[in-house]
Structure 1
Amino acid sequence: MTWYYVYAIALAETSLSDDLSGIFGETLRLVHHAELAAVVGEGPETLSRSDPTLILKHHQVVSELCARYSALPARFGSKVRGADRIRTGLEERQESLAADLERLSGKVEFGITIPGETSSGDSDHVYESETSIDSATSGSDYMKRRLNQFQRENETRAGAEKIHKALSLVLDPYTADESHEFLPRAGILLRASYLVEISQSQLFQHAAEAFQDQSDSLEVVLVGPWPPYSFVSRNGPDIAGMLGAISS
């Protein structure tokens, strides 16, 4: 049975250009069900999910598809054994995928990361902090040190929330949707994803750059635009979930 590598979900009436090819150089085709179609190419049974060349090629193919057509991006490494399983997945999630196509059409994603010193810091700092707590000489000393650590973490989070609020004031006028995470890991204060109308992309970028210029003490790392991976089916089953249910 043929293995298919899935690049995107599109409308059934989509007509693929002959100049498009997949990450293996394969011809792309559509697997239809009702008003939806999966954009696929035949691929190998095994796939290196850590190959940077394949990851980049996938991004390039998906970006081109989403630029030309109304399409939902599939994440790298989505492969399904047999066209019938693809049709089953489309049928089971037709409503949510169709709603996503309508909601995300004409939009792109930007990402913003704000590096900074977090309360947990690097691994050495974590070790020192835990060692300091564990070396407490009494129960009251232990509780005092643990409370101090908790207060530092709260202060750091409050700072990250303040940065996010300031960012929102600047970027919200150009943003259709947004998600964020405070202190996602050591050394990162804030990581946020923004859904932006293509027509607002330049204004969004200029606003983010202006925020950086006005924030001397902050580093603002802006990436994108790219297909709106982070916003596919936030309120329902996403493409990766669909493929996980039907791949083998």
Structure 2
Amino acid sequence: MKRLYVYGIVGATSFDDPLPNGHDEASVFALVSGDIAVAVSFVERSAVEASAANVWLHDNVLSALMTRYAVLPMRFGTIAVGATQLLEGIVKRQKQLMKDLMRLNENVEIALHISGKNWEKVNQKVTKKNTDQAITQGTAYLLGRQQSLYGSDKTQLLVQNVRRAIRSGLDPLMKDVIWPIDKPQALPFKASCLINRNDVASFVQIVNDIAAQNLDARVTCTGPWAPYSFVGKSGVEGET
């Protein structure tokens, strides 16, 4: 039985240029609903394995679409039974989808990772104790206590300083940002940043500069990615 593998929702009614093939070497095509389309390809299975090659293929199709159109990415492995079912869901959410497409047009997601260098060393020691049978209970307790401290009080000032540096340097480039809200002063943490695709090089350079100035912190970024974190939601700001 043929099903539809869904890559994303696109602010276009046709795909003018050829796209990379989808899963099973199938062509990617547009299912049109009003002023938007769903990028899909046929698959003859009910699930696609989350292997590195398959995830890369999914992202490769999205990357090609994002160079030409506004795109709302779908999570890897999204499969619809048929076109009718898929389009019914699109029609119900058409207004919100159009708003999201306008907001995310020409924007990409960058993942910003912040961790403490001392925390990483402690974490490695604590992880090692699980496989090192010779370690004493007292040493294990002290390492665990040290790890706990690096995840709480000991890191609050470091986290605040790094976040202020990030806000000062990157705010002009960020369209939206999602900070962690469950443990906003703990390390390590990750922030999701929405920026214009043309600002990626500048963003990376500023992150490298911040990392060089904060010797006790490890600040890195990955991407650009399709803006998964910003589909249907706005960023949540924590206090700095």
TM-score tier after normalising by the smaller chain length: 0.7 to 0.9
Which residue of the partner structure matches residue 178 of structure 1? 177
Inter-CA distance 200–18: structure 2 relative to 1 (3 Å threshold) = closer
TM-score (norm 1): 0.75
CA distance 1:220–1:37, change in 2 (3 Å): same
**8 A contact 1:12–1:33 mirrored in 2:** no
CA contact (8 A) 1:110 1:195 kept: yes
Q: Indicate the residue corresponding to 1:137 in structure 2.
A: none
Q: Is residue 2:234 matched to residue 1:231?
A: no
Q: Aligned Cα RMSD in Å?
A: 3.0
Does structure 2 conserve the Cα–Cα contact (< 8 Å) formed by 1:16 and 1:29? no
Structure 2 equivalent of residue 10 of structure 1: 10
Deviation at 1:101, TM superposition (A): 0.4
Taking CA–CA contacts closer than 8 Å with sequence separation of 6 or more, which of the two structures ends up with the larger relative contact order? 1
Match of 1:21 in 2: 21
Asked if 1:156 is matched to 2:155, the reply is: yes
8 Å contact from structure 1 (residues 12, 34) kept in 2: no
Q: Give the percent of matched residue pairs that are identical in Structure 1 and Structure 2.
A: 26
Q: CA deviation at 1:38?
A: 0.5
- Report how many aligned residue pairs link the two structures: 216
* Residue identity in the other structure for 2:95: E
- Superposed, 1:116-135 pairs within 5 Å as 116=116, 117=119, 122=126
Matches within 5 A, 1:1-248: 2-116=2-116, 117=119, 122=126, 153-157=152-156, 159-181=158-180, 188-234=187-233
Q: 1:24 aligns to what SS in structure 2?
A: helix
> Within 2, Cα distance between the matches of 1:221 and 1:152?
18
Alpha-carbon deviations, 1:65-120, whole Å to 9, x = none? 111222211121111100001111101111111101000001111111112328x9
Q: After the TM superposition, which of the residue ranges 102-111 and 17-26 deviates more from structure 2?
A: 17-26
Q: CA, structure 1 residues 31+48, in 2 after alignment: closer, same or farther (shift >3 Å)?
A: closer
Name the SS for the 2:44 alignment partner.
coil
Distance 1:99 1:190, change over 3 A: same
Q: Does structure 1 conserve the Cα–Cα contact (< 8 Å) formed by 2:111 and 2:221? A: yes
Secondary structure of 2:40's counterpart equals strand
The aligned amino acid for 1:220 is V
Is the Cα–Cα contact under 8 Å of residues 160 and 190 in structure 1 kept in the other structure? Answer: no
One-letter identity of the residue aligned with 1:36: I
Unpaired stretches in structure 1, ≥5 consecutive residues: 133-144, 236-248
**Alpha carbons of structure 1 residues 37 and 204: separation in structure 2 relative to 1, 3 Å:** same
SS at match of 1:68: coil
CA 1:47–1:104 in 2, change beyond 3 Å: closer, same or farther? same
**Separation of aligned partners in 1, 2:171 and 2:204:** 12
